[in-house]
């Protein structure tokens, strides 16, 4: 940590800060310039609340120079994490994974048609919501376990792995037989009790970025899962809320290279929620692969405009198939396969 003192800071003020830093277990190295004193703190500052130093009289700025997360940091696994699934599929390796499916599982016919489409396009993961976090309590809330049973059957019939959102701790055990990967939705990114519990699970977790979360907060949330011993965490950029209203969310493509630099965890891009608009999903999917995304999460449905949830951002099957073909060229251009 670095504490920059104000030019007019007195010796007493400087000394009070040094004392507080030392009390917090930090070694202090002082540099006195012609106009300003700088205090460099060395030691384990990850668990320190640095803002408490900011309010000391005479302090100008306090900066963190080491990341507040440890296990999620790139330094912990410089070579990068490749999440491996039971059937040999991976996320985080050379191959860009395709995770596709309906926002919500609606019925047998729908999920089987979608599974056939995902398999036909060369995708490896069928994703469908059974417990849906809807903004309105009057909107379709999902089929629950009955929906997961249908998705499991459809996935097995087509050699696919399954991904579905878990909304609360009580659902974890019941979902285990049906899902190969648990999704934590944007609204639950900071449900720390749920994250801790998922740290005990031995299945991969796809952790979506919160609606208004910083990248650092996303990485700190992943740390809750990693610190429980579950190292198979896949991060997901799904757009954040900004002042822009032209798209449902603002797809933060830059988050992909930022995460790659800061963390070893694979990152998935979700251009469906990232834009909220079917006509913009292909462009953002291509941009995400070009930017280094390890997988794409795309909402598809045979009758996309009649989907029970997120219809406007859902691709028709032919649009999805065309997109996957186009993505192969982008992946090859950045040294990946698809
Ligand atoms: C979803 O994936 O369908 C979903 C609800 O996403 P998010 O949590 O990103 O809003
Ligand atoms: Mn959705």
Quote the pLDDT of residue 268: 98
Rounded to the nearest angstrom, the distance between the alpha carbon of 321 and the centre of ligand 1 is 22
* Spacing, Cα 165 to ligand 1 middle (Å): 8
Determine the Cα–Cα distance for residues 165 and 172; give it in Å rounded to an integer: 10
pTM of the model: 0.93
* pLDDT value of position 47: 82
User: Minimum-distance ligand to the CA of 249?
Assistant: 1
Asked whether residue 43 carries a pLDDT value surpassing 90, the answer given is no
Residue partners of 246: CB distance under 8 A and separation at least 6: none
* 35 vs 284, residue with greater confidence: 284
Which of the listed residues 102, 125, 133 should we mutate to test ligand 1's pocket, taking the one with most ligand atoms within 8 A of CB? 133
Query: Which residue has the least CA distance to atom 1 on ligand 1?
Result: 103
pLDDT at 82: 98
pLDDT score, position 27? 92
**Residue-level pLDDT at 45:** 82
Q: What is the pLDDT of residue 65?
A: 84
What is the structure's pLDDT at 274? Answer: 98
Residue 197 tokens read as 């519990």
Q: How far is the CA of 139 from the centre of ligand 2 (A)?
A: 12
- Please identify, by atom number, the ligand 1 atom nearest to the C-alpha of residue 270: 9
Lowest mean pLDDT among 15-24, 47-56, 94-103, 159-168: 47-56
Structure token pair of residue 273: 């929620």
Checking if the pLDDT of 317 tops 90, the result is: yes
The minimum-distance atom of ligand 1 relative to the CA of 297 is: 2
pLDDT (tens digit per residue) in 232-270: 999 999 999 999 999 999 999 999 999 999 999 999 999
Whether residue 103 has its Cβ less than 6 Å from ligand 1: yes
Q: What is the pLDDT of residues 291-304, one digit of tens each?
A: 999 999 999 999 99
Task: Verify whether ligand 1 is closer than 6 Å to residue 177 (CB atom).
Answer: no
Q: Which of 147, 101, 160, 152 is nearest to 128 (CA)?
A: 101
- Which of 30-39, 79-88, 191-200 is predicted with the least confidence, judged by mean pLDDT? 30-39
pLDDT at 209: 98
- In the chain, domain spans: 2-63, 83-333
Question: From the CB of 129, is ligand 1 less than 6 Å away?
Answer: yes
Cβ–Cβ under 8 Å, residues 194 and 165: no
DSSP 8-class letter at 133: -
CA neighbor of 107 nearest in space, from 140, 145, 151:
151
Q: Give residue 250's pLDDT.
A: 98
Q: Tell me the average pLDDT of the chain.
A: 96
Packing angle of the helix pair 108-120, 145-157 (nearest 10 deg): 40
Q: What letter does residue 279 receive in the DSSP assignment?
A: G
What is the predicted pLDDT for the residue at 44? 80
Neighbours of ion ligand 2 (CB under 5 A): 103, 310
* Banded pLDDT at 64 (limits 50, 70, 90): confident
The tokens describing 217, both together, are: 């907060």
> Does the pLDDT of residue 281 top 90, yes or no?
yes
Asked if residue 152 has its Cβ within 6 Å of ligand 1, the reply is: no
What residue's CA is closest to ligand 1, atom 8?
185
Both tokens assigned to 200? 């005990």
| CATH tag, 83-333 | 3.20.20.70
User: What pLDDT score does 235 carry?
Assistant: 98
The token pair at 155 is 């996935």
Residues of the chain with pLDDT > 90, as a percent, come to 93
| H or E stretch covering 31 | strand 27-32
What would the CATH number be for the domain defined by 2-63? 3.30.70.1140
Buried b (16+ CB within 10 A) or exposed e, 236-258: bbbbbeeeeeebbbbbbbebbeb
Mean pLDDT computed over 156-179: 98
Say how many Å lie between the CA of residue 215 and the centre of ligand 2: 21
> Does an H or E element contain 236, and which?
strand 233-237
| Confidence (pLDDT) at 311 | 98
What pLDDT is attached to residue 68?
86
pLDDT of the residue at 142: 96
pLDDT band at 33 (very low <50, low <70, confident <90, very high): confident
């Amino acid at each position: 940590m670095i504490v920059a003192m104000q030019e007019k800071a007195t010796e007493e003020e400087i000394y009070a800060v040094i004392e507080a830093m030392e009390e917090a277990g930090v070694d202090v190295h002082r540099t006195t310039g012609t106009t300003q004193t700088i205090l460099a703190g060395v030691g384990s500052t990850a668990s320190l609340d640095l803002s408490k130093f900011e309010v000391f009289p005479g302090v100008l700025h306090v900066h963190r120079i080491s990341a507040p997360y440890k296990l999620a940091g790139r330094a912990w696994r410089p070579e990068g994490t490749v999440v491996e699934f039971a059937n040999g599929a991976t996320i985080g390796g050379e191959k860009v994974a395709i995770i596709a499916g309906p926002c919500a599982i609606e019925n047998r016919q729908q999920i089987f048609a979608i599974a056939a489409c995902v398999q036909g396009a060369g995708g490896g993961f069928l994703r469908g919501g059974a417990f849906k976090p809807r903004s309105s309590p009057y909107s379709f809330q999902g089929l629950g376990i009955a929906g997961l049973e249908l998705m499991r059957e459809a996935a097995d019939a087509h050699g696919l792995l399954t991904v579905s959102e878990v909304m609360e701790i009580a659902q974890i055990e019941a979902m285990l037989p049906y899902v190969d990967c648990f999704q934590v939705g944007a609204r639950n990114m900071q449900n720390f009790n749920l994250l801790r519990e998922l740290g005990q699970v031995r299945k991969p977790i796809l952790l979506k970025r919160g609606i208004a979360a910083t990248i650092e907060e996303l990485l700190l949330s992943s740390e809750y899962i990693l610190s429980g011993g579950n190292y198979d965490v896949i991060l997901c950029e799904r757009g954040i809320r900004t002042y822009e209203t032209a798209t449902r969310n603002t797809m933060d493509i830059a988050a992909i290279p930022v995460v790659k630099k800061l963390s070893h965890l694979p990152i998935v891009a979700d251009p469906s929620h990232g834009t909220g608009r079917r006509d913009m999903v292909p462009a953002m999917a291509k941009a995400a692969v070009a930017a280094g995304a390890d997988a794409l999460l795309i909402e598809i449905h045979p009758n996309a405009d009649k989907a029970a949830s997120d219809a406007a951002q859902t691709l028709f099957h032919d649009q999805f198939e065309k997109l996957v073909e186009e993505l192969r060229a982008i992946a090859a251009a950045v040294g990946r396969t698809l």
